[in-house]
Amino acid sequence: MKILLGVGGGIAAYKAAELARLLMERGHDVEVVMTGAAQDFVRPLTFAALTGRKVHTDLFAIESAIEHIAVAEEHDLLAIAPATADLMAKLAHGQADDFLSTLYLAFTGPVVVAPAMNVNMWEHPATQKNLETLQGRGHRVVGPAEGYLACGMTGLGRLAEPEAIADAIEREGGKRSDLEGETVLITAGPTQEPLDPVRYLSNRSSGKMGYALAVAAAARGADVVLISGPVQLAPPRGVKVIPVRTAVEMREQVFLNLGPAGIVIKAAAVADFHLARVPDQKLKKTAARISVELDPTPDILAELGREKGDRLLIGFAAETQNLQQEARRKLETKNCDMVVANLVGGNDTGFESDQNEVVLVLRTGEAISVSRASKREIADRIFDQLLKLRLTLHAAHER
């Protein structure tokens, strides 16, 4: 693979030298771009010696005014390590004032970002917002890791280990097209079921898992339709997003868009109950207890299970206990090929978190545990298993 390695100006810049060496050892071509600040930490000569190539440093002191365009076109993947808070902000906002940030805008291939900074800078809402923007664009973010930081503090902010970054680069570069020609229909987020014109019933789903699946599928070449309940997430690049509010609206859009889909993933936390007839006027406060009668919503997944044909159908099961048994029960009753099961109510996995820990329960009887990882990482593991499962099911069908 022809890899561009963008080095930002942080103390971890020295670890980028190790990463460059490792990538070369694994047989890749590496060309390095350094920001001005990066050159205060490590000399370009270090990278030139390691890669045997010229190191790009300055946008305007170059032979050709369009060198960044040529460099962008020649490479398969752009990796940025370390990505400082400043560099992440520039990338997120498309500010192009040096070679690396200009090259980033000209680059159309996959991007891997490995952040490193002080823990407070990492946790600042501005950085977190920029992170969300970069993830929403489909970039793979590796780390940061937790531990002792150069500033003397301990926490999240260390650059991920060079091996982990190299692995992520190879995964990202290696499977750009295994979902090409495929339409993937994904539902995400909660639904909101109105009680009156101003109130509703809903749940804590953030939509992050469904959005991560959409980003991963698009990055692997699929045409993606994302039917999304109300969430606070940016629409992923290259994905057709259809916003809905209620379970009934979600059902309608799922069946309107089902035609070309070969893979259907129901990551949405659909409300199980709704008020069948919503009053026209706002309910007035009274001193007395009131009660509302709720009716079941249509079970979209079960309906899909009855009409799935040879599509792959994937459900989700959020459980507080008996994870695998419940997931297996849902797989069977709703005729799914896979159920992604996760325990909710625990610490820092599940609804609002960026991380998750799941068990993939398959139609074949297998159950595969995926240990705690980013939702994007989990999304890729789900697609890896789905493609394997499809081969197994085809082989069984032929026999």
Residue 341 backbone class (left: φ over 0; alpha: ψ -120 to 50; beta: rest): beta
Q: If we measure between CA atoms, which residue out of 393, 382, 387 comes closest to residue 339? A: 382
Stretch of 143-151, 266-274, 355-363, 377-385 lying at the interface with ligand CTP (CB under 6 A): 266-274
Q: Helix or strand or coil: residue 64?
A: coil
Annotation says 151 is catalytic: yes
- Whichever of 212 and 317 has its CB closer to ligand CTP, that residue is 317
Q: Does 268 bind ligand CTP (CB under 6 A)?
A: yes
Q: Given 145, 151, 258, 393, which residue is catalytic?
A: 151
Least Å distance, CB 192 to ligand CTP, is 13
φ, ψ dihedrals at 160, nearest 5°: -60, 155
List, in order, residues 6 or more apart from 90 with CB less than 8 Å away: 96, 97, 101
- Map residue 50 onto helix, strand or coil: helix
- What's at 343, amino acid-wise? L
Most distant CA pair in the chain: distance in Å?
Answer: 80
Residue type, 44: P
Closest contact distance (angstroms) between CB of 151 and ligand CTP is 43
Q: Any contact of residue 159 with ligand CTP (CB under 6 A)?
A: no
Q: Per-residue x/- marks for ligand CTP, 306-345, CB under 6 A?
A: ---------xxxx-----------x---------------
List 300, 343, 361, 362, residue binding ligand CTP (CB under 6 A)? 300
Number of neighbouring beta carbons within 10 Å of residue 149 = 22
CB neighbours of residue 36 within 10 Å: 14
CB 330 within 8 A of CB 336: yes
Nearer to ligand CTP, 173 or 315 (CB): 315
- Interface residue with ligand CTP among 87, 214, 264, 270 (CB under 6 A) is 270
Distance separating alpha carbons of residues 136 and 132, to the nearest angstrom: 6
Our CB check for ligand CTP shows the closer of 71 and 304 to be 304
**What is the closest distance, in whole angstroms, from the C-beta atom of residue 380 to ligand CTP in the complex?**
19
Q: What is each CA distance from 286 to 109, 283, 290, in whole angstroms?
A: 60, 9, 8
Nearer to ligand CTP, 154 or 322 (CB): 322
User: Rounded to the nearest whole angstrom, what is the least distance from the CB of residue 342 to ligand CTP in the complex?
Assistant: 11
Among 247, 361, 362, 379, binds ligand CTP (CB under 6 A): 247
Using rule CB under 6 A, residue 186 touches ligand CTP = no
Among 297, 342, 349, 356, binds ligand CTP (CB under 6 A): 297
Would you name the residues annotated as active-site residues?
A: 151
| Footprint of ligand CTP (CB under 6 A) | 247, 266, 268, 270, 272, 297, 299-301, 315-318, 330
